[in-house]
Amino acid sequence: MHLDVAGPLLESKIGRFKYLMLLIDNSSRFRIAIPMRSREEASAKIRGFVSRFNALAAASEGRIARIGSLLSDGAKELVSNELQEYLDANGADKKESPPGGHALNGCTERGILAVIQIVRAHFEQSGAPHTFRPESAASAVDILNRTSLAPHGRCSSYENLTGQKPRVMSIMPFGCGRCPTRRCIALINYEENECRSSHHSARRVSPRGTRRAE
């Protein structure tokens, strides 16, 4: 599993997030974006992710492998003793690229660049405030997972990890007032900074204010 942290970014409107952690599964290239308020949250976020991913692997009847190693740069928040002890207890190694050798962690470097390019397109086309960066990043990762190929080139990253073919109607849209999605009603209240959704907790953002997607 490759990981890297981008930031500080403009503080988000919902959640007050300023950093974005990107994790990429080496075998499927499946991407996971986790927003953070500070770099100090990285260790706890990684431990929570490893726990959930390994639980998914255990339930997959051998189709998904547990996390065997984490590759990152040598940032201090990613090399804490607490994190190392947790990984040791779960049978995972922690590997760091040497100082000045960020290219050795090129998988997440390229992954973050791809996410940022889609995020920029979101804001340019929708006119939404940049304070909705975490929601845009979540949509970007969802698009990349469902439309880009796994390393073997036979299917998408999403299908490789989940075993299910991606559906176009399931892609989380961003920046539109009305979204033609099935079984989904998303309501965003800007004044109360609340986001509710009845479909997989997906966030749909409209720069014009409160909208209902049908």
CATH code for position 132: 3.30.420.10
Instruction: Judge whether 8 lies within some domain.
Output: yes
3-state secondary structure of 45: helix
Per DSSP, the three-state class of 110 is helix
Q: How many domains does the chain have?
A: 1
Query: Do 115 and 22 form a contact (C-beta atoms < 8 A)?
Result: yes
* Average pLDDT of the residues in 21-36: 91
In terms of pLDDT, which residue wins out, 189 or 69?
69
pLDDT category, 99, cuts 50, 70, 90? low
> Would you give the DSSP letter of residue 163?
S
The domain in which residue 141 lies consists of 2-167
Instruction: Share the mean pLDDT of the chain.
Output: 77
In a domain, 205, yes or no: no
Coil, strand or helix at 11: coil
Residue 175: the pLDDT is 66
Please tell me the total number of residues recorded for the chain in this structure: 214
- Is the omega angle on the peptide bond into residue 99 within 30 degrees of 0, that is, cis? no
Q: In what order do the strands lie in the sheet with 93-96?
A: 31-36, 19-24, 2-6, 69-72, 93-96
Place of tokens 């986790």: 34
Residue 16 and residue 206: Cα distance in Å, rounded? 18
Residue 209, in any domain of the structure: no
Q: Tell me the pLDDT band of 152, cut-offs 50, 70 and 90.
A: confident
pLDDT beyond 60 at 187: no
- The kind and range of the H/E element at 71 are strand 69-72
Residue 197 lies in a domain: no
Residue 189, in any domain of the structure: no
What percentage of the chain carries pLDDT values higher than 70? 77
User: Does residue 159 lie in a domain region?
Assistant: yes
Does residue 146 form part of some domain?
yes
pTM of the model: 0.74
Report if residue 181 sits inside a domain. Answer: no
Measured from the Cβ of residue 211, the count of other Cβ atoms closer than 10 Å reads: 17
Would the pLDDT of 112 be above 80? yes
